[in-house]
Structure 1
Amino acid sequence: MLFIHRQAAPVHALKLLWLIQCVAMAAMEMSGPFWALHLQSSGQLSASELSWYSALAYAGPMLTAMLCIPWWGKAGDRIGHHWMLLRALAALALTQLALAYCTQPLMIIAIRLLQGAIAGFIAAAQAYGSQLSSREQRGQLMASLQTATALGSVLGPMAGGWLYQSQGFTAVNLSAAALCAGCLLLAALCLPRSKVVPASASTALQSNSGSAQQNSWWRQGMLPGFLLGILLIQSAKMLPQAYFSLYVTQAMQATTGFAGLSYGLSAAGLCLCAPLWAIYFRQQEDSTILRWMIALCIASAVLMAVQSLYLSATIFLLCRFLWGCFLGALLPVFYSLLSLHTPANKQGQALAYGNSAAKAGALLGTAAGALLMAILPLQHLFWTVAVAYLLTALLLALLPRTYPLPGSAPA
């Protein structure tokens, strides 16, 4: 059983964790938009091979991470999540360094797959932060880390695009490796360590903090319900990723600058509203939170329908911003529910399962979007996202019948 020693300034440590996550995620996203261009520049691939290699470069790390993150989470529960945090940052730094000097397409794919398998930084940061924070801070923590990820995902491609244009792709990966190494040094020197305590002492701590109910929750098997919620939310979110830029530039006849602005507004909405949702949900029962999730999915479906109509540029941008505000509630809330209702000695394992479910949802949503793009006219594709959100709302409404939540009426 592991326990994080509460130092004098845990708030300072959580702020530092937020900074590390933001910088590390920005570093990893610096190269994200440019793998297809880099593979094409090698001149070793045909058009069909390029499409397959590009798909593997993007989706491969998500697949290996989905399979391996639970193992790392379980290891963190045994030896300490601080060590898992350092391991993940070291893995990111070393693999980005290797990618900076790798030119063979097959080796690039192999390193990308390895990177997904041995990193798992987001799950490690969530598990580490959950033991560093109190139960009352848990929802705020998950929202804060989600905001850090979103902000890094916006800043990283911007910096990567400038470096790629001015210095080349090697400079992009070297910079990412250097940033991850800096985060590793900061985490090693400034974040508090994990401390192993006897099982009897940890049991006493659990009884004082209400973990008996958490253990009961774990035994009742409600974990699959929360994982299903994460998978559904992430699938609906990622569904338009495959065709969003094409939809904006071709179906709407807008510019790439407009596409970038509308994409950035969603991230801005998430960053602004995720902490506010966490504060509001802090005192709510699980059943009330689930009803809010259902309502937000329905509202997201309405926003997608309005975007499909393209009434005006202003309305489209407003819908994108509001959708980002809703996203600030959806995924972080499910992570916080996972953490709050999981025993302290299983935090890493449960949050790792949550991250695996998110990766599976991302793969499912991206694949479904690519398939729909091949069989439906471009101007109708956003209607499918509205349908996906309505289906998600329906399935979430059925969750209490299968996995009863605290505060729900019996079915």
Structure 2
Amino acid sequence: MLLQHWRMRLHFLWLVQLLTIATMEMSGPFWPLYFKQLNHTYLAEISSQWASILGGLAYILPLVAAMFSAPFWGKLGDKYGHKLMLLRALFALGFSQLLLVYITDPILILLVRFGQGLTAGTIAASQSYAAKMSPFQHRGQIFSRIQAATAAGSLLGPLAGGYWLEHMEMTGLFARSAIIFLMLFLTLYCLLPEDNKKQSLQKTSKNSPEVNQANILWPPLVLLAAICLAQIAKRMPQSFYALYAETILGQGSMMIGILYSATGLGILIAAPFSGYYFDKLKNGQDKRNFLQGVCLLSLLLMLLQSQINSFYPALILRFFWGICLAAILPLLSAQLSAQGGIKAIGKQVGISHSAIKLGGIVGIATGAVIFSLLNWQWAFATIALTYVLLLWLLSKQTATEPDTREEVKLIS
């Protein structure tokens, strides 16, 4: 039976997104180790340094590819349906995992990863579908819940991958991932209604108005820059935080994993509530103040982090930073999607994800450079500076302030 109510569809997409991210993250932490194990003709042995470089490319290449392809797939989804884009993304993920079962050449593996980035993109497709098939006034909840599913998958995936790799080779993990994606593909095909048919949209179109000045808090270019900056700040610690935890906090791999998980746990807990609260705010200025307040709190947390050299205070700061991250990026993306109207949701979400991918690449590179050239205190201070720039951007307003009375009428 098809899932008819929008809340049922959102819960279903939440589960699909969780399983998708968890399946991809099963192999995520282990790419350098896998490259080190490979033997091939033009390199008799891969050194640890080369394994690290190849592992880094395995992370970065899909991001680069997705940065260019996301708007194209979003626009195509607007025309032919975002359910089709979800099916396409799941098929691409499953097919790429199947190829990796048989391909052992490092260069070909990197090409497969690049192709996966070009053709996949489940997060953007899920957000576009849910936003298109749900009432407009719940858009903040939609984007936040998909973010929560992504955080949950990022928590569970490495744990499952580490457990299974104790009992099988990496290729066995790829084969298991391909089977999971096939099952998700078939389940989604059977249960999710089409979103390119008029009768599917009639129930939500009256609650999903086209672009209205009351829904626009920032100009599109300001929002894109803010999304990019938010992702830079989020990704910057990824390249150095493990070294900071090992050398400054004096922790081993288990405790470092707990520190990383604390941020994901904060996102998972806070995301649904931040989206719900944001949707309940009727006044545009209140929404702006909410996001600015969260950014200011993130800035203060990073300044505190730059002075911390013990485990438990760092753990607390990581958790509260996760709570802040649960609000900033998904709500900015929801604002950008609102400016395209129901007919251009996919295009707007795709553009948003391009900014997210660009921010991720810049953030990882910037964090690595600052940490290597200066020290960990400067690295966290740079993240705080990023939030200063983000606060400045969010102080920008549209040419005409929203009419809050019109917004109340629209939502009611």
| Same fold flag (TM > 0.5) | yes
Match of residue 291, structure 1, among 289, 292, 295: 289
Inter-CA distance 261–202: structure 2 relative to 1 (3 Å threshold)? closer
Correspondence for 1:395? 393
What's the offset of the Cα at 1:42? 1.4
Q: Take 2:288 and 2:218, find their aligned partners in 1: how far apart are those partners?
A: 17
Inter-CA distance 369–212: structure 2 relative to 1 (3 Å threshold)? closer
Inter-CA distance 91–209: structure 2 relative to 1 (3 Å threshold)? closer
Correspondence for 2:163? 162
Q: Take 1:297 and 1:195, find their aligned partners in 2: how far apart are those partners?
A: 37
Inter-CA distance 73–384: structure 2 relative to 1 (3 Å threshold)? same
What's the offset of the Cα at 1:313? 2.8
Correspondence for 1:3? none
Q: Take 1:231 and 1:337, find their aligned partners in 2: how far apart are those partners?
A: 14
Correspondence for 1:107? 108
Q: Take 1:209 and 1:127, find their aligned partners in 2: how far apart are those partners?
A: 13
Match of residue 303, structure 1, among 301, 304, 313: 301
Alignment of 1:377-388 (within 5 A): 377-378=375-376, 380-388=378-386
Structure 1 SS opposite 2:196: strand
Correspondence for 1:372? 370
* Alpha-carbon contact 1:206-1:212 (below 8 Å) kept: no
Q: Take 1:24 and 1:46, find their aligned partners in 2: how far apart are those partners?
A: 32
Match of residue 235, structure 1, among 232, 235, 239: 232
Structure 2 SS opposite 1:317: helix
Correspondence for 1:23? 19
Q: Percent identity?
A: 34
Correspondence for 1:127? 128
Alignment of 1:184-333 (within 5 A): 184-197=185-198, 209-211=208-210, 213=212, 222-284=219-281, 285-310=283-308, 312-333=310-331
Q: Take 1:407 and 1:9, find their aligned partners in 2: how far apart are those partners?
A: 31
What's the offset of the Cα at 1:118? 0.5
Q: Take 2:19 and 2:266, find their aligned partners in 1: how far apart are those partners?
A: 20
Moved more, 370-379 or 315-324: 370-379
* Alpha-carbon contact 2:248-2:309 (below 8 Å) kept: no
- Over the aligned positions, Cα root-mean-square deviation in angstroms equals 2.6
Inter-CA distance 314–404: structure 2 relative to 1 (3 Å threshold)? farther
Inter-CA distance 251–347: structure 2 relative to 1 (3 Å threshold)? same
Structure 1 SS opposite 2:103: coil
Q: Take 2:124 and 2:138, find their aligned partners in 1: how far apart are those partners?
A: 17
What's the offset of the Cα at 1:46? 5.0
Q: Take 1:351 and 1:132, find their aligned partners in 2: how far apart are those partners?
A: 14
Inter-CA distance 153–7: structure 2 relative to 1 (3 Å threshold)? closer
Alignment of 1:324-363 (within 5 A): 324-363=322-361
- Which string of whole-angstrom CA distances, capped at 9 and with x for unpartnered residues, describes residues 244-295 of structure 1? 1110011221222221111111111111111111111113234332222222
Correspondence for 1:148? 149
* Alpha-carbon contact 1:136-1:282 (below 8 Å) kept: yes
Q: Take 2:295 and 2:208, find their aligned partners in 1: how far apart are those partners?
A: 33
Structure 1: runs of 5+ lacking an equivalent: 1-5
Q: Take 1:405 and 1:225, find their aligned partners in 2: how far apart are those partners?
A: 15
Structure 2 SS opposite 1:133: coil
What's the offset of the Cα at 1:64? 0.4
Q: Take 1:28 and 1:281, find their aligned partners in 2: how far apart are those partners?
A: 30
Q: Take 2:401 and 2:38, find their aligned partners in 1: how far apart are those partners?
A: 53
What's the offset of the Cα at 1:380? 4.2
Inter-CA distance 212–63: structure 2 relative to 1 (3 Å threshold)? closer
1:83 aligns with 2:84: yes
Moved more, 271-280 or 309-318: 309-318
Correspondence for 1:98? 99
Q: Take 2:334 and 2:6, find their aligned partners in 1: how far apart are those partners?
A: 18
Q: What TM-score results when the alignment is normalised by the length of structure 1?
A: 0.89
* Alpha-carbon contact 2:4-2:193 (below 8 Å) kept: no
Inter-CA distance 154–50: structure 2 relative to 1 (3 Å threshold)? same
* Alpha-carbon contact 1:214-1:342 (below 8 Å) kept: no
Q: What TM-score results when the alignment is normalised by the length of structure 2?
A: 0.89
* Alpha-carbon contact 1:269-1:323 (below 8 Å) kept: yes
Task: Give the letter aligned to residue 15 of structure 1.
Answer: H
* Alpha-carbon contact 2:25-2:158 (below 8 Å) kept: yes
Task: Give the letter aligned to residue 259 of structure 2.
Answer: S
Q: Take 1:193 and 1:121, find their aligned partners in 2: how far apart are those partners?
A: 16
Q: Take 2:35 and 2:296, find their aligned partners in 1: how far apart are those partners?
A: 40
* Alpha-carbon contact 1:214-1:343 (below 8 Å) kept: no
